[in-house]
Amino acid sequence: MIHVQDLKVDFGSHSLFGGLSFHVKAGEKVAVKGESGSGKSTLLHTLLGFIPQFEGHIEIDGLALNPSNIHEIRRRTSWVPQDLRFTVFPTVREMFYAPFRFKNNRHLMPRPEEMERIFHAFEISEDLLDRQIKEISGGQKQRLILAAAVLLRKPVLLLDEPTSALNVEIKNKITDYLLGLEGITLMAATHDEYFISKADRIINL
């Protein structure tokens, strides 16, 4: 499903990955670990086509990562960035529904019962949607954005530090939920020991 061969990324003075190769099978759940600055976010950004100068070969869902395929690859992928300080959305509702308003995703608008199920699992209330972004906590925001990413039901889920703002009980519960998503190939950059211990496989940068 995700095939990476001899990957190298150069940022002027320094180079990352030094010829990294790995293969992630369909449905596998992979933790990407490594010290701060080791390139976890950069690896996800490369898979998303944000780092076009990479060296090596990348294939996602049978498509080589190149300018002609990137649109189709992104259509099959959902991504939660590490930095969730969005400034463009006035309300939580607009932030939550933003990915479903993209032209490619309009048909993926979640049904009320799907919303209810995941809000319950993530221990968040739908009332949060009526607030201003500054009126919710970092952990509530992280759970809302993860819920939206899951509800998109894309075959590939790329998560950058998905549980960094959560306390331990809810963090482990959400980790179990994410790792139990059937048929979805998941790669998460994480420092979290619980996530790392439960993942099918670890990529250590």
Ligand X SMILES: Nc1ncnc2c1ncn2[C@@H]1O[C@H](COP(=O)(O)OP(=O)(O)OP(=O)(O)O)[C@@H](O)[C@H]1O
- Give me the residues that bind ligand X (CB under 6 A), please: 11, 16, 34, 36-42, 82, 189
Q: Alpha-carbon distance 122 to 106, whole Å?
A: 24
188 closest CA partner among 148, 146, 141, 151: 146
166 binds, among Mg ion, ligand X, none (CB under 5 to 8 A by kind): none
Nearer to ligand X by Cβ, of 24 and 44: the residue is: 44
Nearer to ligand X by Cβ, of 84 and 151: the residue is: 84
Does residue number 41 form part of the binding site for Mg ion (CB under 5 A)? yes
Q: Alpha-carbon distance 19 to 109, whole Å?
A: 40
135 closest CA partner among 147, 148, 125, 123: 125
168 three-class SS: helix
155 binds, among ligand X, Mg ion, none (CB under 5 to 8 A by kind): none
138 binds, among ligand X, Mg ion, none (CB under 5 to 8 A by kind): none
139 binds, among Mg ion, ligand X, none (CB under 5 to 8 A by kind): none
Minimum distance, C-beta of residue 82 to Mg ion, in the bound complex (Å) = 5
- How many residues contact Mg ion, by CB under 5 A? 3
Classify the phi-psi angles of 185: left when phi > 0, otherwise alpha if psi is within -120 to 50, otherwise beta: beta
Q: Footprint of Mg ion on this chain (CB under 5 A)?
A: 40-41, 82
